[in-house]
Structure 1
Amino acid sequence: MDFNTALTFTVTGRFLRYVQIDTQSDPLSPTIPSTEKQKNLGRLLVQELLEIGLTDAHLDEYGYVYATVPANTDKPDVPVICFCSHMDTAPDCSGTGVKPIIHKNYDGSDIILPDDTTQIIKLKEHADLKNQVGNDLVTASGTTLLGADNKAGVAEIMDACYQLMRHPEIKHGTIKILFTPDEEIGRGVDKADIAKLGAFAAYTMDGESAGNMENETFSADGAKLIIQGVSAHPGFAQGKMESAIKIAGKIIAALPDNLSPEHTGDMQGFVHPVDMSGHIETAVVDFIIRDFEDDKLAEHADTIRQVADEVLKVYPNSTYTLETQQQYRNMKNVLAQHPQIVDYGMEAMRRAGLSPKLCSIRGGTDGSRLSFMGLPTPNIFAGEHAFHSKQEWVSVQDMQKAVETILHLCMVWEEKA
């Protein structure tokens, strides 16, 4: 089937609608979802899914959207697959008042954003721009993020649902849809109902360059360093005070540079202090620890302990504890048990005319946790670039290729059944 002639894409129009709805999540909020405004997009998606013909589409109390594209094949044993994207945008950059701009027929030059001309999307800083000459690029106006992470994925899945319902000649099994809140703050699947989905495999649409598929993520731990110092009146502190705040600062400063995120790349892990609070007597430093190999997480935690032990040699009356907590694990450990899930994704991209490439994520996705919840979930490109920033951009043509990839993937699973 030639999708180029058969399909009338709706992905761009959907994307432009969705990014104008503020869905920023809030890591300080205890509620689920963390911000009520995320449900505004969820309600719109449900309305549009119902209009497309997905009669069971609904938004649950936690802000998750569920829907089903019914099977249209005579084959009885086609596995149920799910497509998933998150609706929230990152707390790092404002998502209020997004004004999307389409730059048609991109000519390869730097893009100056009109509402803040200091925001320049430079060709030399955005490697994939060289592949976009002649394409139509979407950016924000310079004062907000765009929200392509992950509303590009949402729009692509929505357009794929539209195409599947309009084109019965695209044979497929039962397809489940899941849109999640709060992915950007690490809670994206906390309340996901895996039993309701009833799927064998899933795919998140939340990756970068067209043709990329990610089958590997960091494994992740959190660590909390608690330092107990010695308080004394500052006027009479000589020989007595051991400031927990100063000890914490010295420990952070003594961490090896080759384990910091700003000095690591590719398959290297890191130890990263992300928050510090306290006073003279007690100080707390929160770390995130990341690596592609699970056993290295314990080694990185030991590095913190070794540095703390060395620093505290000159503070004989002070002590520390280090508590670690598992956050998520490398999804490759699960996906390796079901190689066809990744293989079919690669085949779908080839059928869409792309040159597929397997990649590793220096981070995590909803798929990381879904995989260990019993739903193996690699990550497919959505075309998003420079996410979490005012220079975020996406290509219309890449979003269309993502829609094609979803449709081909549905057909591959039906053919291989």
Structure 2
Amino acid sequence: MTQFDRELEDRLVRYCSVDTQSDEGSANQPSTAIQLNLARMLADELRAAGAGDVTITDYGAVLATVPGTAEGPVIGLLAHMDTAPAYNATGVKPRVIRGYNGGAITYPDSALVLTPEHSPYLATKVGHDIITASGTTLLGADDKAGVAVIMTAVRELIASGAPRPKLRIAFTPDEEIGRGVDPRLPADLDVDFAYTFDGGAVGEVEYETFSADGAKVRVSGVSTHTGTAQGKMVNALHLAAKIIDTLPQATQTPEVTGGRDGFWHIHAMKGTAAEIEMSIILRDFELDGLAARGEMLKQVCAAVAATEPRATVTCEIRPQYRNMRYWLEKDMTPVTLAHDACRAEGIEPVSNPIRGGTDGSRLTEMGVPCPNVFTGMQDIHGPLEWISVQDMAAATRVCLRLVGLAARA
């Protein structure tokens, strides 16, 4: 194992064992108080490592400073603490498979099997130490791997006294529900540019994301006793089903799109025959495409509403985040620095568009250029999530190299 492998393994196992799942239905900030358990742990570890200005903000972010020892831009390093509400994240039991042999990985608590056929990237990790959960939860490497990478880099930078500009560290809550960047964060961070460590395969340096909107569609019907419902009842569930059925599914949902194709996706629905609410996300790499998807959804809702004048159908669309490319392509300095850091570590950088978003999407839109750097995480948001310890070590070396290059700029 390299100098970082054991530390990264220990950190990830400890961090993933702490439940930090966010909750889209909560109006609290952060959305779940359990995220503060990890926040307090990280704040204590940052102080022990020698970081300064360590604080947990009112909005639940952990902030800290690594003092500079050389001239250079002030750089932010960010990762998010929460795990996705898409799958069970309570009672995570991380385990390490040492020296992966290239075959199938089974799980102690379920009949699941992870294979290179399912996850081709796994086939490239023979001999690596692989971390997974036990089969009934996600792992949480998204993005506790990023947290572990940054914490390890901070500890190393302070202990070694390596040349570095001033660094600002931020661990954010609620990224998975699109609320990771509080309006106060850019000023609190106070950097020239930043990086999220929230990416996948080794070499990924991403500066293009989806643009994203979220929609709430509410259908109010007419409720009455089923025994006397003839000619009176309007079933909101039936109308909601018509809306879903009318939206294009063969070509415009996540399961049938890839590359630069956008989509619509219904991810939650709750209610009764009287009233129902649907949560729908809209995604496209271009703003005109995103607007077209929103207009399509509104037209479908209006068309279904017209079939039943006794019902009420509303469609509210709110912005979530925007493609960071619109801002970063005007000044590629942070992207170029990350590319150079990868190459200095013998890693060829790859910059493909992300079919999703990061805290960096919002930060970039708010004036803090913030591309995304790999950690190694794979098959996220589900029980087959896994990561290579050696990939995390590669991300840590790139982080350190990036800081070193900036100090000489």
Under a length normalisation based on structure 2, what TM-score does the superposition of the two structures give? 0.92
After TM superposition, list the pairs within 5 Å mapping 1:168-247 onto structure 2.
168=161, 170-190=162-182, 192-227=184-219, 229=221, 238=230, 241-247=233-239
Residue 322 of structure 2 is matched in structure 1 by 329
> Is residue 2:263 matched to residue 1:270?
yes
Residue 101 of structure 1 is matched in structure 2 by 95
After TM superposition, list the pairs within 5 Å mapping 1:105-116 onto structure 2.
105-116=99-110
Q: Is the 8 A contact 2:5 2:390 kept in 1?
A: no
After TM superposition, list the pairs within 5 Å mapping 1:382-397 onto structure 2.
382-397=375-390
Specify which of 281, 301, 306 is matched with residue 299 of structure 2: 306
Q: 2: CA distance between counterparts of 1:57 and 1:357?
A: 34
Q: 1: CA distance between counterparts of 2:275 and 2:293?
A: 23
The Cα shift of 1:260 comes to: 1.6
Aligned length: 408
Q: 1: CA distance between counterparts of 2:338 and 2:173?
A: 25
Per-residue CA distance 1:274-299 (angstroms, 9 max, x = gap): 33345556544332111111111221
Residue 84 of structure 1 is matched in structure 2 by 78
Gaps of 5+ in 2: none
Which secondary structure state, in structure 1, belongs to the residue aligned with residue 197 of structure 2?
A: strand
Residue 35 of structure 2 is matched in structure 1 by 38
> Is residue 2:42 matched to residue 1:17?
no
Fraction of identical pairs, as percent: 45
Q: 2: CA distance between counterparts of 1:281 and 1:356?
A: 53
Per-residue CA distance 1:155-179 (angstroms, 9 max, x = gap): 10011011111222x3211011001
The Cα shift of 1:61 comes to: 3.4
Residue 143 of structure 2 is matched in structure 1 by 150
Residue 259 of structure 1 is matched in structure 2 by 252
Q: 2: CA distance between counterparts of 1:111 and 1:103?
A: 9
Q: Is the 8 A contact 2:4 2:152 kept in 1?
A: no
Under a length normalisation based on structure 1, what TM-score does the superposition of the two structures give? 0.91
Q: 2: CA distance between counterparts of 1:392 and 1:157?
A: 20
The Cα shift of 1:27 comes to: 2.2
1:314/1:142 Cα in 2 relative to 1: closer, same or farther (>3 Å)?
closer
Q: Is the 8 A contact 1:230 1:317 kept in 2?
A: yes
Q: Is the 8 A contact 1:7 1:163 kept in 2?
A: no
Q: 1: CA distance between counterparts of 2:30 and 2:275?
A: 33
The Cα shift of 1:192 comes to: 4.8
The Cα shift of 1:185 comes to: 1.8
Which one is further off, 273-282 or 392-401? 273-282
1:312/1:39 Cα in 2 relative to 1: closer, same or farther (>3 Å)?
closer
Q: 2: CA distance between counterparts of 1:318 and 1:34?
A: 33
1:163/1:8 Cα in 2 relative to 1: closer, same or farther (>3 Å)?
farther
Q: 1: CA distance between counterparts of 2:305 and 2:56?
A: 53
Per-residue CA distance 1:53-111 (angstroms, 9 max, x = gap): 113222233321111111111x3xx1101000011112233333322222111111010
Q: Is the 8 A contact 2:8 2:152 kept in 1?
A: yes
Computed over aligned residues only, the root mean square deviation of the Cα atoms, in angstroms, reads 2.3
Residue 58 of structure 1 is matched in structure 2 by 55
Which one is further off, 136-145 or 199-208? 136-145
Q: Is the 8 A contact 1:9 1:400 kept in 2?
A: no
Which secondary structure state, in structure 2, belongs to the residue aligned with residue 357 of structure 1?
A: coil
Q: Is the 8 A contact 1:64 1:192 kept in 2?
A: no
The Cα shift of 1:149 comes to: 0.9
The Cα shift of 1:240 comes to: 5.5
Q: 2: CA distance between counterparts of 1:317 and 1:23?
A: 43
Specify which of 289, 294, 297 is matched with residue 290 of structure 2: 297
1:87/1:318 Cα in 2 relative to 1: closer, same or farther (>3 Å)?
closer
Per-residue CA distance 1:168-220 (angstroms, 9 max, x = gap): 2x321101100111112221112653222210111000111111111111111
Per-residue CA distance 1:347-398 (angstroms, 9 max, x = gap): 1111111111002111111111111122111110111111122221111110
Q: 1: CA distance between counterparts of 2:65 and 2:89?
A: 29
1:255/1:214 Cα in 2 relative to 1: closer, same or farther (>3 Å)?
same
Residue 332 of structure 2 is matched in structure 1 by 339
User: Amino acid of the residue matched to residue 49 of structure 2?
Assistant: I
